[in-house]
Amino acid sequence: MQITVGIIGCGSITKFRHAPEYWENPHVKEIVFFDRNRHRAEELAEKYQGRVADTVDDLLNDPSIDAISDCSSNEVHHIHSSQALRSGKHVLCEKPLAISVEHANKILAAQRESGKKLMVDHNQRLTKVHQKAKEIIESKEYGDVLTFKTTFGHQGPEKWGATKSNATWFFKKERSHSGVAGDLGIHKIDLIHYLLDDEIASVHGFHGALHKVDEHGEPIEVNDNVVCALKTKKGRLGTASFSWTYYGLEDNSTTIYCEKGVIKIYHDPQNQIIVETKDGATIKYELESIQTNDNQTNTGVIDAFVDAIIHDKKPIVTGEDAISSLRVIEKLLGR
Ligand SMILES: NC(=O)c1ccc[n+]([C@@H]2O[C@H](COP(=O)([O-])OP(=O)(O)OC[C@H]3O[C@@H](n4cnc5c(N)ncnc54)[C@H](O)[C@@H]3O)[C@@H](O)[C@H]2O)c1
């Protein structure tokens, strides 16, 4: 079986991940691109031998299209993804699912009414390293998880987004809404939920716009740094920090402290998991190099989405999963 896929938004995430990964998936017949900056859609259509849609309605009303990747900016996910589901398409929506839980609920309602699949791109779950870490944690070899520490930070989205400038939508309140918290933080909240098979119940933190400036040299309207303390439903305690001002190499590391050992994830580029046991042993795992903005490797997300459609399976990241992470971000920002 082969499917045709439409993509809304042809910026960086489409260029580096969605388009090449659909292109390489043997079950994908054709990709149809739409962007309000038409030249971005045209460039990708040429590279991946696809088509360009003139309007979002043309894309959603095209009966040959089975599924949509919603790669537009955050403030329109609830519009595009809901419309796509109601048009009978399966949807892979970029994270954050929406700019608020209220908006995200609209997407979930559309999903339930349509019966189509909704997956959200919390890609951290799918890295070989995080999959292995989950296996180690679930084996209980080192006992139960007691506490954790996680961080995600890089030099900022003005170097990543399609515009490559400080005028980026990532810095605008009405478009990004939640700054680095919703951009990077939500990945780690989802990861902690997934690794620990648990949910953050309580969060207290600080956030601020410490250093980034917009195109006029003014401090940005959203947070560029967050530090917080977290408590899960099962009583685990943790800390997290998320940053757009780590002006060195990207930091994507997590530490899980268990009853009989410590699991260190992405602290060392060579040995992506290092386990230090209570009795003094060190076990090192060399799995795959980390995906960073500068090192784009297959995320597995597109393959998992296509697989869920072809084999009628539940997606690995559901709308409900995404809402539970979004809820933590809202609490963190006091909304
Ligand atoms: N999963 C991840 O690791 C990851 C990484 C980066 C970005 N993202 C998410 O992907 C989404 C897109 O981010 P990006 O980095 O590609 O941004 P970007 O600025 O590079 O690209 C966004 C594109 O969407 C288009 N667009 C915006 N609104 C539109 C609309 N209403 N109709 C049509 N096109 C529209 C823009 O013209 C632009 O080409 C965001 O939600 C972001 O949070 C996810």
Measured in whole angstroms, the distance separating CA 17 from the mean position of its chain's CA atoms is 12
Q: Determine the straight-line distance between the first and last CA of the chain, rounded to whole angstroms.
A: 44
Mapped onto helix, strand or coil, the DSSP state of residue 322 is helix
Q: Whose CA is nearest to atom 21 of ligand 1?
A: 11
Q: Is residue 329 part of a domain?
A: no
* Helix and strand numbers, DSSP H then E, in the chain: 12, 14
Same domain, 160 and 247: yes
Mapped onto helix, strand or coil, the DSSP state of residue 32 is strand
Same domain, 11 and 106: yes
The whole-angstrom separation of Cα 301 and Cα 21 is: 9
Find the 260 Cα to ligand 1 centroid distance in Å: 42
Q: Is residue 167 part of a domain?
A: yes
Q: Is residue 216 part of a domain?
A: yes
Q: Is residue 280 part of a domain?
A: yes
User: Residue 181: its pLDDT value, please?
Assistant: 98
The whole-angstrom separation of Cα 232 and Cα 38 is: 45
21 within ligand 1 shell (Cβ under 6 A): no
Mapped onto helix, strand or coil, the DSSP state of residue 271 is coil
Q: Whose CA is nearest to atom 36 of ligand 1?
A: 9
Q: Domain with 74 in it: what CATH number?
A: 3.40.50.720
State how beta strands 237-243 and 145-153 pair. Answer: parallel
Is the entire prediction scored with pTM above 0.95? yes
Q: Domain total for the chain?
A: 2
Q: Is residue 209 part of a domain?
A: yes
Provide CB contacts within 8 A for 207, sequence distance 6+. Answer: 179, 181, 223, 225, 226, 227, 332, 333
* Enclosing H/E stretch for 29: strand 28-34
* Enclosing H/E stretch for 49: none
Same domain, 138 and 269: yes
With contact defined as beta carbons under 8 Å apart, do 226 and 205 qualify?
A: yes
Same domain, 117 and 131: no
Find the 285 Cα to ligand 1 centroid distance in Å: 34
Q: How far is CA 323 from CA 174, 190, 266, 318, in A?
A: 20, 10, 26, 9
145 within ligand 1 shell (Cβ under 6 A): no
Provide CB contacts within 8 A for 310, sequence distance 6+. Answer: 1, 3, 27
Same domain, 87 and 50: yes
Give the atom of ligand 1 at the shortest distance from the alpha carbon of 10.
39
Same domain, 167 and 97: no
Q: Is residue 22 part of a domain?
A: yes
Same domain, 52 and 142: no
Which of 7, 8, 71, 301 should be mutated for ligand 1, with most atoms under 8 A from CB?
71
Q: Domain with 217 in it: what CATH number?
A: 3.30.360.10
Same domain, 27 and 162: no
Same domain, 155 and 184: yes
Q: Is residue 26 part of a domain?
A: yes
31 within ligand 1 shell (Cβ under 6 A): no
Q: Is residue 328 part of a domain?
A: no
Tokens representing 76 are 């329109």
Same domain, 110 and 148: no
User: Residue 296: its pLDDT value, please?
Assistant: 67
Tokens representing 314 are 């539940």
Q: Give the range of the structural domain holding residue 112, as residue numbers without chain letter.
A: 3-121
User: Residue 290: its pLDDT value, please?
Assistant: 75
Q: Whose CA is nearest to atom 27 of ligand 1?
A: 72
Find the 94 Cα to ligand 1 centroid distance in Å: 8
Per-residue pLDDT of the chain in tens (335 residues, 90 and over written 9) = 999 999 999 999 999 999 999 999 999 999 999 999 999 999 999 999 999 999 999 999 999 999 999 999 999 999 999 999 999 999 999 999 999 999 999 999 999 999 999 999 999 999 999 999 999 999 999 999 999 999 999 999 998 999 999 999 999 999 999 999 999 999 999 999 999 999 999 999 999 999 999 999 999 999 999 999 999 999 999 999 999 999 999 999 999 999 999 999 999 999 999 999 999 999 999 998 777 777 667 889 999 999 999 999 999 999 999 999 999 999 999 98
From 55, 90, 121, give the residue that closes a domain: 121
With contact defined as beta carbons under 8 Å apart, do 187 and 126 qualify?
A: no
Same domain, 29 and 164: no
User: Residue 298: its pLDDT value, please?
Assistant: 83
Provide CB contacts within 8 A for 119, sequence distance 6+. Answer: 91, 92, 93, 301, 304, 305, 308, 315, 316, 317, 318
Same domain, 139 and 284: yes
Q: Which long-range contacts (CB under 8 A, 24 or more apart) does 276-279 make?
A: 277/142, 278/142
From 121, 138, 168, give the residue that closes a domain: 121
From 99, 121, 143, give the residue that closes a domain: 121
